[in-house]
Structure 1
Amino acid sequence: MEQVLLILDWILYVLFAINVLYLLVYSLASLRQKLPVPPPSTKYKRFALLIPAYKEDAVIHECVHSCLEQDYPVDSFDVVVISDSMQPETNASLSLLPIRLVEVHFEKSTKSKALNAAMAAIGNDYDIALILDADNVIPYNYLRDVNNLCACPGVEIVQTHRVAKNLNSDMALLDAMSEEINNTIFRLGHAKLGMSAALIGSGMAFQYDLFRNTMANIKAVGGFDRELELTLLYQGKRFHYLPETFVFDEKVQNTNDFSRQRRRWLSAQWHYCTVFARYLFKAIAERNWDFCDKMFQQLSIPRLLLLGFTFLLALVCSFYNFIWSLKWWGIFLLLIVALLVAVPRRFCTSRLAAALQALPYTFLLMAANIFKLRGANKKFIHTAHGVADSNQK
């Protein structure tokens, strides 16, 4: 019996160690010299700022005004709000602004449907499609920064640095920290090693024709950005990153929203892993390492689950066989190092120490979501924005 447990222990250890070392490598890579700053461009590309807005009456105006206040020629960008199920008063007030308002009506709403409908309505007289969420806010120099990088030869796709707009609850703080860890490992660390940065669903810019043609074949209900990302990576496209160009995004403020959001993410991760798995061997043969890397991410253990289960396995082994536990405590320590390196110093405050007390509960929520994935990717799960909630359960 002990021999069987030993074999199982080593199988689990190797699986977890690969996941931990992956995070550690890219986390440490983020410490390398800064990415080069693109030179200012004298040519202004024409932008379509596409903002899908499903029941986003509470936040859409702040987003739109930040877009209209750009330090960029007004005839070189259009703000396109895709209004889905918003109130008539909201649509009426938006129609008074110098934007393009596209009202859509779907029996079952999805982000991919909204974006495709908008592009069909506004035509093709654009160079760049910039995707924002309705709760996003962008600084005045945002379009100039994106334009400068898009003007560089070979740059077709750009992801900007999404940061928290709100830190008004412990959950919002933890969500903000989690996203910054993702930015460090999956975007900055990747870019510094010459790999594609991960897309994140908003604050991303595409060569317009490329985006329009790719989106025409994407029918995703949830996680459209994952399908878009894997599709483009399989085509050999490269994703660039602007670490100093920020887009402010509202973080989840309570445990219910956190659970729904992570269930959607987990479902999308597993779904697109199975969809794109058949392309993996061809990608390896063609040395398409960006696609292979992204497929590994789809197969990898979500970070919070990795942290929780590594700790639990180390603890259990400590009681059963202390010698066995040493290797588990070793990779747990490496995981902590990887995460600490990836956390921006501004988060290291006494408030974070208090918020971390909620980690065990959020781990349980994530673990419970494993058993609730069936059908989650077949329906649109909306996270409400603009509702102040300090629930810190």
Structure 2
Amino acid sequence: MNLLYFLLVLLQVLFGLHFFMPLILSIAGKFRKHAQPSAQPVPADYAVIVTAYQQVNLIPLVVDSILKSDYSNYIIYIVADNCDVSELRFEDPRVVVLRPAEVLASNTKSHFYAIHNFRRDHERLTIIDSDNLVHPNYFNALNAVFDQGYQAVQGVRAAKNLDSTYACLDEAGDIYYRLVDRKLMFEAGSSAALSGSGMAFTLSLYRSCLEHLEISGAGFDKILQYEILNRGDKIAFAEQAIVYDEKTAKTDQLVNQRSRWINTWFKYLYLGAKLLLKSISSLNWNQFLFSVLLLRPPLFMLLMVSFIFFLTDLFVMPLFAIYWVLAALTFFTFVFKALRHFKADDKIYHSLKNAPKFIYFQILALLKVRKANEISVATEHYYEEKINK
């Protein structure tokens, strides 16, 4: 019986540790010196890869936002996979429309299709989704961080639409992850998690990480960040490099998207275990912290399991229930700290009362996880209004 109690306590401590991670990262970050971004960043040459699958209705908006940026040393490569490109016409010579002869249905295949059709040898590439809009200072902010010696940089993906409760809750979750998985992780001496777009790399690093791999389905960013960390490199966080991203606004969109994401977590969970073992053997702080992040379950699953543990403790070992109270207090403290730091819109605060409903739809997504690969490889986009930021 004592062994069972010990195992129960150990399991709960490991689960609850994820709620205390923001505090641990904050403390660790206090003891590290942080380099300041360059005041006059070097204007590197970028390949801007914009991927589209089946839908191109938002392409003119994202291209327009890039062309209006405070930067000019780039070429935009639009990879229109399985798309009708008859209406995609651009006068600016820096915009290149590529339509693969065969359906690729893969992010990395689209990226390398662009790479193999580059008009010149670019120093860096940045990946932008077709539903994104780019902040005017995006490239300068990336350069300021690259100039510190990093080869991989993740920017901020902020919401461009907060016109529904679900979009607001989606952004609330993103803001929490933005603080914990990117800002605090990077400041603590580890790496910022990649998020699929709004990220940039030296061309040499990107090719060395992925060109030899065959990746199908969602989750190329999971493999990419593992490959970067496995090489001993760091992914920097550029808080001022902002792209505006479309948030999920409809329930079916939310369920399908989250189903793919949950499937991706299960699919690549082994990478976290591999990185953990390597970090312990090599005593690598960067890899260790990041492996813990990779092993963390999706937030809604973490909350559900923790609540079950809390109810169990009330009957089995009431004193240990205090652990979960402290974990909850720490979690909500950093949720609101994240919202304050990134100046969340009032709509986001008001949407929090609907969080249980948001969790319910993610449970539905979990039930569909085995069929996730049968769902379309791209999220359908509904938001078409032009946003001037």
TM-score range, shorter chain: 0.7 to 0.9
Q: 2-side partners of 1:353 and 1:65: how far apart?
A: 31
1:215 alignment partner in structure 2: 210
> For residues 28 and 315 of structure 1, what CA distance do their matches in structure 2 show?
30
Q: Deviations over 1:21-53 (max 9, x none)?
A: 223323666799995542244642111001111
By how many angstroms is 1:240 displaced?
1.1
Structure-2 residue corresponding to 1:270: 266
Question: Partner residue of 2:25?
Answer: 26
1:162 corresponds to which residue? 157
Aligned match of 1:64: 63
Cα RMSD over matched residues? Answer: 3.0
Q: 1:25 to 1:338 in 2, by over 3 A?
A: farther
Contact 1:222/1:378 (CA < 8 Å) preserved in 2? no
The residue that corresponds to 1:364 in the other structure is 360
Number of residue pairs matched by the alignment: 383
Mapped partners of 2:249, 2:33: distance in 1: 33
Shift in Å, 1:94: 4.2
Partner AA of 2:354 in structure 1: A
Instruction: Report the alpha carbon displacement of residue 56 of structure 1 after superposing the two structures with TM.
Output: 3.0
Paired position in structure 2 for 1:15:
14
Residue aligning to 2:253: 257
Superposed counterparts of 1:141-220, under 5 Å: 141-152=137-148, 154-220=149-215
Deviations along 1:255-279, one digit per CA (max 9) or x if unpaired, are: 2222222221222122122256445
For 1:87, give the aligned amino acid: D
Q: Could you say which residue in structure 2 is the equivalent of 1:78?
A: 75
Distance 1:29 1:284 in 2: 18
Per-residue deviation, 1:319: 6.6
Return the offset for 1:227.
Answer: 0.5
Q: Does 1:232 align with 2:214?
A: no
Question: Deviation of residue 136 (structure 1)?
Answer: 1.1
SS in 1 for 2:327: helix
Q: Which amino acid aligns with 1:58?
A: N
Name the residue aligned to 2:369.
Answer: 373
Is the deviation greater in 31-40 or in 43-52?
31-40
Q: Please give the alpha-carbon distance, in whole angstroms, between the structure 2 residues aligned to 1:120 and 1:53.
A: 17
Shift of 1:148: 2.8
Unpaired segments ≥5 residues, structure 2: none
Query: CA 1:145–1:330 in structure 2 vs 1: closer, same or farther (change >3 Å)?
Result: closer
Contact 1:190 1:197 (C-alpha < 8 Å) held by counterparts: yes
Counterpart among 53, 73, 95 of residue 99 in structure 1? 95
Pairing 1:113–2:112 present: no
Task: Tell me the residue number matched to 1:243.
Answer: 239
- In 2 relative to 1, CA 156–329 (structure 1 residues): closer, same or farther, beyond 3 Å? same
CA contact (8 A) 1:27 1:184 kept: no
Maintained 8 Å contact 2:51/2:129: yes
The CA distance in 2 between the partners of 1:265 and 1:138, in whole Å, is 24
Identity across aligned pairs (percent)?
A: 25
Question: In structure 2, how many angstroms separate the alpha carbons of the residues matched to 1:316 and 1:292?
Answer: 31
**Partners in 2 of 1:137 and 1:18 — Cα distance?**
36
Q: Secondary structure at the match of 1:81?
A: strand
Mapped partners of 2:329, 2:203: distance in 1: 45
Match for 1:219: what amino acid? E
Deviations 1:139-165 (Å, cap 9, x if unpaired)?
22221222232233x221111122111
